[in-house]
Amino acid sequence: ILVPEAKPASNVFLGLQLFIAGLALKVWKFLQKAWDLGVDDPRKVIHCLKVGMALTVVSIFYYMRPLYEEVGGNAMWAIMTVVVVFENTVGATLSKSLNRVCGTCLAGFLAIGVHWIASQSGERFEPVIIGSSVFLLASAATFTRFIPSVKIRFDYGAMIFILTFSLVSVSGYRVDKLFDLAHQRLSTIIIGTALCIVVTMLVCPIWAGQELYALITRNMDKLADSLDGCVAEYFQDGDGSLVDSGKERQKKLRGYKCVLSSKATEETMANFARWEPAHGRFNFQHPWKQYIKIGASMRNCAYCIEALNGCISSENQAPEYIKKHISNSSLKVSSNSSSVIKELAVTIKTMKKSSDIHNLVKEMNSAVQELQADLNSFPKLFTSPSNSESQIPENKKIEPAASRTMVTLPPLMEIIPLVTSASLLTEIS
């Protein structure tokens, strides 16, 4: 009879223990994930240290008496600028810095002008004029943020414009030394942005252009591997000779998924890359837009692989002898076209016109023709045995036919845009 009385207390204790254990497990998992992330890409850790460093340096304005007396409480703006402007890549930091400085300048001058007009028009009208100017300019600037061409490059600048304009013009109603306020705000912001730019460019810089470039070449290699893997997978069922370690192969096969999902990253990177000065092998006027085009044609190619993959997992499979009939030429086409993609990746990597590329394209085209010849010989294959036999496999023949034409489609489709964009690139570099 004592047991039930003792239970509630022990239950609560047990529950608490479980709760704490669960919480600890969650925290532990979170930390583990964070650790993996850091190990996976140490540059992220370096970026964090850079942010900490920049903030510590900028807070010296508070610790050193002579510096503090120069800028006063406005040193806060320098800190704020560092926090807001410091981004992972050089291009992003530069774009935000320039946007911030330009937006602040423009808005500051405008606000001082509006304030001067308002102060001339008497005490009663002052708040009305200031208020309506804030309303109008804020609405207009917000509207420009919807315009695509502004949104891509000057979104942050427009926001800073609204912010500075309303701050300066509204506080002008209370603060006497408005010009000093605007001047101090501008100078502290310039100090902050300058510090950010110096730190981001000198301490282990991460260039958006470099990242974009690495992403594109990596994706090209993945695409080539997937194409190879997919076709091999399709014909491998038949002979079973190509079996290698399962997980590794699955990873290769799924490589094209990265290509499908990297559109947004490519676009932001290309956008930031345009802000970057010349660095490494990239000139100032490097044709970043070409990379977006290459990305688009790679995505087209990945769609084809996706469709091909659908055929592999479809339950209707072609009979063995048909597969064997076309397997050689199909494998040749896929290996040729993937080697073309790889060669293109090398071309982009070295930024030199490859002498092999034309031969490879030629080889690929001849392989495609060979495959088509193989396909044309199909009817003979079916009509040569006795008629009664030939009609059974026919209904399953459609599947490989589909996959075959899909196999032949991607090279044809991908080569035309890829070669043109790649040749454009190589001509410039």
**Minimum CB–partner distance for residue 120 and a copy of itself (Å):** 18
Q: Enumerate residues 225-284 that contact a copy of itself by CB under 8 A.
A: 261, 263-264
Residue 174 or 247 having the CB closest to a copy of itself: 174
Q: Which residues pair with 282 in a beta bridge?
A: 279
Q: Which two tokens stand for residue 187?
A: 């100078």
Q: Enumerate residues 285-324 that contact a copy of itself by CB under 8 A.
A: 300, 303-304, 306-307, 310-311, 314
Q: Is the dihedral of CA 330, 332, 338, 340 positive or negative?
A: negative
**Minimum CB–partner distance for residue 329 and a copy of itself (Å):** 13
Residue 127 or 277 having the CB closest to a copy of itself: 127
Contact 228, 205 (CB under 8 A): no
Q: Is the dihedral of CA 317, 321, 324, 329 positive or negative?
A: negative
- Is residue 38 near a copy of itself by the rule CB under 8 A? yes
How distant is the alpha carbon of residue 163 from its chain centre?
29
Q: How many residues bind a copy of itself (CB under 8 A)?
A: 85
**Options 109-117, 165-173, 329-337, 415-423: segment touching a copy of itself (CB under 8 A):** 165-173
Q: How many residues are present in the chain?
A: 429
- Is residue 18 near a copy of itself by the rule CB under 8 A? no
- Is residue 167 near a copy of itself by the rule CB under 8 A? yes
- Is residue 206 near a copy of itself by the rule CB under 8 A? no
Among 301, 323, 298, 338, which residue's Cα sits nearest to residue 403? 323
Determine the Cα–Cα distance for residues 415 and 408; give it in Å rounded to an integer: 11
- Is residue 159 near a copy of itself by the rule CB under 8 A? yes
Phi, psi dihedrals of residue 122, rounded to the nearest 5°:
90, 160
Single residue of 21, 34, 152, 351 touching a copy of itself by CB under 8 A: 34
Q: Enumerate residues 379-408 that contact a copy of itself by CB under 8 A.
A: 379-380, 382-383, 387, 390-391, 394-395, 398-399, 401-402, 404-406
Q: Which two tokens stand for residue 38?
A: 């850091």
Q: Enumerate residues 71-130 that contact a copy of itself by CB under 8 A.
A: 73, 75-76, 79-80, 83-84, 127, 130
Residue 315 half-sphere exposure toward CB, CA atoms < 13 A: 0
- Is residue 362 near a copy of itself by the rule CB under 8 A? no
| Backbone dihedral region for residue 319 (phi beyond 0: left; psi -120 to 50: alpha; all else: beta) | beta
Q: Enumerate residues 174-193 that contact a copy of itself by CB under 8 A.
A: 174-175
Determine the Cα–Cα distance for residues 224 and 252; give it in Å rounded to an integer: 9
**Minimum CB–partner distance for residue 360 and a copy of itself (Å):** 22
